[in-house]
Amino acid sequence: MRRLSDMFYESAANYPDKKAIWCDGKTNTYQELSELVSRYSNLLLHNGVQYRDHIGIPMTNSIKSVALIFAAANLGVALVPINPTLPVSAIKTAFKAGDVKHLIARKAFYEECEKSGGIDMDGICICLDDECPGTIPFSDIQKESVERPIIGRVTGDETLILTMTSGSTGLPKPIDLTQKNKYLRAMAHIRMYNITKDDSVLAATPLYHSLAERLVIMPLIIGGTSVLLPRFTPHIWLNCVKEQNVTFTIAVSSQLAQIVDLLSSPFVPEIDSLKCIVSSSALLEPYVRKELINKLHCNFHEMYGTSETSTVTDINFKEAINKQKSVGRCFPEVEIRILRDNGEIADTDEIGEIVCKSTLVCNGYYGLPDAFNNAMADGYFKTGDMGYLDEDGYLYFSGRKKELIITGGINVYPNDVEKCVLEIPEVSECAVFAYPDERLSEVVALAVEIKQGKTLRKRMVQVQCARNLADFQQPHKIFFVDKLPKNSMGKIMKTKLMEYVRLQCENA
């Protein structure tokens, strides 16, 4: 394979004066960005960072962070990026799981660490924004050469990113993504969505997640332009798309739902640069998809995948007219099976666990080989998701296997109930989860977030479910909540729902 750093430096040599990246009002040309990557590489080398070392960073969206990714690729070292808003204790746990030797962080993080007993590092600590005792100031980078250091033994098989499983609390599983993983994933998406050097690709999710990393890598290895939002709001997103002439993006569904709400405003800028939007992370509500297609006038896709596998399926809703409830067909790099509980392959239209074989699968769970081996079945990765394939090979998602509700011995798939409830005009979002029950072991519970300015009674929800769902699917418990608990990617955290609704009830 070609090394990521080689491809980036080739882009810089071919297009030195072209805009490489924009973030938060700042722009770097390819010449400027390549010099920053070289300086960063030299700063790390000259302060003792060695081949295959691991560097921890509470990562924010910035040009510095993108430069660090390519500097790490250039040196053959690994990054352990983490959500900077997590408690320091959770970050320490994640860094321990990722064998972090060096640390790059802001002064406020070092100060928080000191309050909790400090943080032990065998290597160097760099302070990004100020001088801090015991650290190297990032301003030292200006003393470094703009000449690229060449590390001959970097092959691309080295770990580039250790991304933590969602939440990164307790005992996280570090997902090992090598340079080869990142290269293959980037190229697969470039081919699927016909990305070229003329495209401006927007990343609007946090860089400590693999999606944003992929979105900034894609354009920079082919001579395109990377557009990176420092933070997301629908206003910022729309203005950025307009001002930066964004042509392609992959957005999480929760972001797109907020953007749709804003598109009805007369003050929204006219968007005419977008060629394609891809929705990811969670299923998009049909009305959101329809509004986006009608108002943004571009191709609209939805993808399904996991952090371990990257993208598994894709669907273009303008082409797949009769498959609107599907999450699409396999990427060329992927094969899918649906397995029954006994390991047998399920029949067409039969719900089972989604497993996939793919050239895009991660390198494993760092330091946890048994956990990754247990997630494999005959060369297929067990996603923990439930779904089925139709006769044309289209995949339909039914929910997480762990979220399956077994009430009175009958399986209830939360997604079926959620789709029904979301048809109520007053419902903004909802989530179905298991609630303990002495007689049936567990019953269907429903948490509902009502649209702003609207009212909704439990009776209206009960009538909707009675008319459209089977007896065993009926919600026994209905909770109205102000906001559903979500992680930084906008996914509803169903494991938190039980505690969340009980707290709301106690405080009501």
pLDDT digits (tens, 9 = 90+) for 134-147: 999 999 999 999 99
Of 162, 177, 192, the domain-final residue: 177
Q: What is the pLDDT of residues 192-251, one digit of tens each?
A: 999 999 999 999 999 999 999 999 999 999 999 999 999 999 999 999 999 999 999 999
Selection from 296, 300, 298, 302 nearest residue 283 by Cα:
302
Among 177, 208, 238, where does a domain finish?
Answer: 177
Answer whether residue 439 is part of any domain. Answer: yes
Secondary structure letter of residue 493 according to DSSP: -
The enclosing domain of 498 has a CATH number of: 3.30.300.30
Q: Indicate if the pLDDT at residue 108 is higher than 70.
A: yes
Mean predicted confidence (pLDDT) in 382-392: 95
User: Model confidence over 407-455: pLDDT tens digits?
Assistant: 877 889 898 899 999 999 999 999 999 998 878 888 999 999 999 999 9
pLDDT at 475 over 70: yes
Quick one: pLDDT at residue 167? 38
CA proximity to 54, closest of 12, 88, 99: 99
CATH assignment of the domain containing 154: 3.40.50.980
User: pLDDT tier at 166 (50, 70, 90 boundaries)?
Assistant: low
Picking from 424, 108, 451, the residue whose alpha carbon sits closest to that of residue 258 is 451
Distance CA 15, CA 29 (A): 8
Q: Is residue 471 part of a domain?
A: yes
Summarize the confidence of residues 74-78 as an average pLDDT: 98
User: pLDDT digit string (tens) for 443-455?
Assistant: 999 999 999 999 9
For 123-129, what is the mean pLDDT?
A: 96
- For residue 461, report the phi and psi dihedrals to the nearest 5 degrees: -70, -45
For residue 345, the 8-state DSSP code is B
Who's near 418: CB < 8 A, 6+ residues apart?
A: 430, 431, 432
Confidence class for position 508, pLDDT limits 50, 70, 90: very low
Q: Kindly state whether residue 428 falls inside one of the protein's structural domains.
A: yes
Q: Is residue 296 part of a domain?
A: no
pTM of the model: 0.86
385 inside domain = no
In a domain, 235, yes or no: no
- How many structural domains does the chain have? 2
Distance CA 138, CA 348 (A): 57
Whether residue 214 lies inside any domain: the answer is: no
Residue 174 CB contacts under 8 Å (≥ 6 apart), including other chains: 80, 94, 97, 98, 162, 163, 164, 165, 365, 366, 367, 368
Q: What does the pLDDT average to over 179-189?
A: 97
Read off the tokens for 90. Answer: 């959770």
The answer on pLDDT for 79 being more than 80 is yes
Average pLDDT of the residues in 86-107:
92
Least confident of 36-40, 42-46, 257-261: 257-261
pLDDT value of position 497: 85
Please state, in angstroms and rounded to a whole number, the distance separating the CA atoms of residues 271 and 259: 12
The average confidence (pLDDT) of the chain is 92
442: left (phi over 0), alpha (psi -120 to 50) or beta: beta
- What's the average model confidence in pLDDT over 392-405? 90
Assess whether pLDDT exceeds 90 at residue 493.
Answer: no
Among the candidates 177, 199, 221, a domain finishes at 177
In a domain, 394, yes or no: no
Where in the sequence is the domain holding 481, given as residue range(s)?
404-507
Task: Write the pLDDT tens digit of every residue in 278-327.
Answer: 999 877 878 888 888 888 889 999 999 999 999 999 999 888 889 988 99
* pLDDT in the model for residue 457: 95
